[in-house]
Structure 1
Amino acid sequence: MAPLVWFITGGSSGFGYYLALHALAAGHHVIATARSVTKSAETVQDIETKGGKVIELDVTKAETIRQVISQAESIHGHIDVLVNNAGYSVLGAVEDITPEEATLQFETNFFGPLRLIQAALPSMRARGAGTIVNVSSVAGQDALPTCGLYAASKFALEGLSESLSREVASFGLGVLIVEPGAFKTNFLEAAKKTDVGLSEPYRGGVVDTVLGKFDSIRGFQRGDPAKGVARVFEVVTGEGAAGDLKGRILRLPLGPDCVARVEEKLKSVSSDLEVTRGVAMGTDYDNL
């Protein structure tokens, strides 16, 4: 197949970085973004020496989004694959999250992708080709204690993606939601605990326990990011081990831990549906 042009946010670290390198190694064109090119100098150089391009972008700065998309489109003439990967997690009890932390979480994980999608869609729609990849998380399906705002932002991204996939299908465009479990990237290192800390009522409880578990697995995650991004690449391109899934799926779960948690979530939702069926079915007007 002809090389695709990939635009990958958060491309200087984590999944974005590994995906950029994978696409470049396969002979594709990559335009990655970094919040600070200076602070990410090593990975920026790595991407650019392999033939990629890195643009500075803070996805929370709404006024810069359309300009950056236009700049990216001018490099190779268009964008084939928009990958909304930039994101982070704020950790803490929902009660302890400050308004500023909640706002920044959504600006980064939801409104940033929304604005990028809106900026990239006109060109994709005009060409009748393109794929939007929204990197969610297993937390976009199953919300653990401590992850309330992070999960909320990913639930929102998944809802947006579901609707978007139905809106743009007739234009020949695809949408893919990627749901990684625990992969060995810098994600946990970059996670931020709420500024107010853990308030007294939550100390020694489930929130405290889960925070401790995150601390204990940092650096020991079982997921191999190189394998994870390979599956994403294959589903988008239709090549390789997962290539036959191209166009057949909306969600791509990644990792045994993700599969297990989503299976338990589905059981819970199914159970709720069944036990409430009689109540739910009896709420119409009697005379209709």
Structure 2
Amino acid sequence: MAPSVWFITGASNGFGLLLCLKAAKAGHKVIGSMRSKTKSADAVQQIESAGGQVVELDLNESKESITQKVKAVGPIDYLVNNAGFFILGAVEQVTAEEAQLQMQTNFFGPLYVTQAALEGMRSRRSGTVVNLSSIAAKDPQPTSGMYAASKAALESVSESLAAEVAPFNISVLIVEPGAFRTNFLAAYSEPAGALPADYEGTTVSQVRGYFAANDGKQAGDPQKGVDRIYEALVGEGLAGALKGKVLRLVIGPDALRRNRKINDKFLADLALSEEVALSTDFD
């Protein structure tokens, strides 16, 4: 049986790099993408030493450029949209340009990559699309509004996509991690504009301080997180039984707790508003 082809974005560090190494060492053909091979020379060396390949791809490129680079890879069996970044700041202080950059990198870039890969998957009637989201998509915290919005958009389009491509034997998996000890927090971006003075002492300043101080202290082990993702995709190991059975893979005890809390709140709101919801049809 020929090895599967994996195309993984954001391969310079964190989940992307570890998943490249995991899949390559398992005998799959792996192509990892990153913005600059020069700036990420160590990651390039690790991936190539494991038998993988690396291509340069910036999700802020034009759709035409992204499409051309993805199609140049050839047939893709597993597409993993992992690349992204985090704007840490209050919604009010984010500029239009910063909001657009957040959405371009975390939503439109993955959208264009997926669109480019789908034609080949449809023709072969086979393929898997994996979109790395975040618990923030379900449970946004103060200062994470733009990031949460970009991931919520990615989740919504993934749900629709899953129904659209199921007839072609293409599966979609949304991965919802909690806090893992990657460089995610270290690489956050702050808005250029100052935080208005009114926010000092509020939850915005408190949560911003928490995020900044929590780098390197996250409870999640990135290797274990990647192991669970890989297992759920290929159908082996602890998470193997989930293959083809779940649309969302929640990883991390914190993500599980927060999902349950937000779901309980939603169900409570639904129960409270039931009479109102039922009152709006024509008589």
User: TM-score per shorter chain, which class?
Assistant: over 0.9
Q: Quote how far apart the aligned CAs of 1:61 are.
A: 0.5
Could you say which residue in structure 1 is the equivalent of 2:104? 107
Aligned pair partner of 1:276 in 268, 273, 278: 273
Which of these residues, 70, 94, 98, is aligned with residue 97 of structure 1? Answer: 94
2:161 pairs with one of 141, 160, 164: 164
Does 2:68 match 1:67?
yes
Partner of 1:227 in structure 2?
A: 224
| Matching of residue 217 in structure 1 with residue 214 in structure 2 | yes
What's 1:45 paired with? 45
Which residue number in structure 1 is paired with residue 7 of structure 2?
Answer: 7
TM superposition score normalised by structure 1: 0.96
Residues 67-113 of structure 1, C-alpha deviations (whole Å, 9 max, x = no match) = 1112211xxxx110000000001011101111010000000000001
RMSD after superposition? 0.9
The CA distance in 2 between the partners of 1:271 and 1:185, in whole Å, is 35
1:249 to 246, 250, 254: 246
Secondary structure in 1 aligned to 2:185?
helix
Q: Name 1:237's counterpart in structure 2.
A: 234
Mapped to 2, the partners of 1:140 and 1:22 lie a distance apart of 26
SS in 2 for 1:249: coil
> In structure 2, what is the Cα distance between the partners aligned to 1:205 and 1:2?
56
- 2:112 is matched by which residue type in structure 1? R
* Cα distance per residue 1:129-182 (max 9 Å; x no partner): 100000000111111110000000000000000000000001000000001110
Does the 8 Å CA contact 2:130/2:172 hold for their aligned counterparts? yes
Using structure 2 for the length normalisation, give the TM-score. Answer: 0.98
- CA deviations on 1:211-243 (whole Å, 9 max, x unpaired) are 111122101111011010111111111111111
Structure 2 match to 1:120: 117
Question: Is the contact between residue 180 and residue 218 of structure 2 (CA under 8 Å) also seen in structure 1?
Answer: yes
1:143 matched to 2:143? The reply is no
Q: Does 1:187 align with 2:188?
A: no
Q: Percent identity?
A: 54
Q: Using the alignment, how far apart are the partners of 1:183 and 1:272 within structure 2?
A: 31
What is the correspondence of 1:259-270 to structure 2 with a 5 Å cutoff? Answer: 259-270=256-267
Flag structure 1 segments of 5+ consecutive residues without an equivalent. none
Q: Distance in 1 between matches of 2:113 and 2:43?
A: 23
Offset of residue 3 of structure 1? 2.4
Matches of 2:37 and 2:28, distance apart in 1: 22
SS in 2 for 1:190: coil
> Where does residue 26 of structure 1 map in the other structure?
26
Secondary structure at the aligned position of 1:188 is classed as coil
CA distance in structure 2 between the aligned counterparts of 1:66 and 1:216, rounded to whole angstroms? 39
| Inter-partner Cα distance in structure 2 for 1:269 and 1:240 | 33
Aligned twin of 2:80: 83
Deviations 1:179-204 (A, max 9, x none): 11100101001111111132211111
> What is the CA distance between 1:2 and its match in structure 2?
4.7
Over 4 Å off, 4+ runs: none
Counterparts of 2:119 and 2:98, CA distance in 1: 32
SS in 2 for 1:191: coil
Alignment gaps of 5+ in structure 2: none
Deviation at 1:29, TM superposition (A): 1.2
Task: Measure, in 1, the Cα distance between the counterparts of 2:148 and 2:169.
Answer: 30
State the secondary structure of the residue aligned to 1:59.
coil
Matched residues in 1 for 2:52 and 2:39: separation?
Answer: 18
Kept in 2, the 8 Å contact 1:133–1:178? The answer is yes
The answer as to whether partners of 1:11 and 1:34 remain within 8 angstroms in 2 is yes
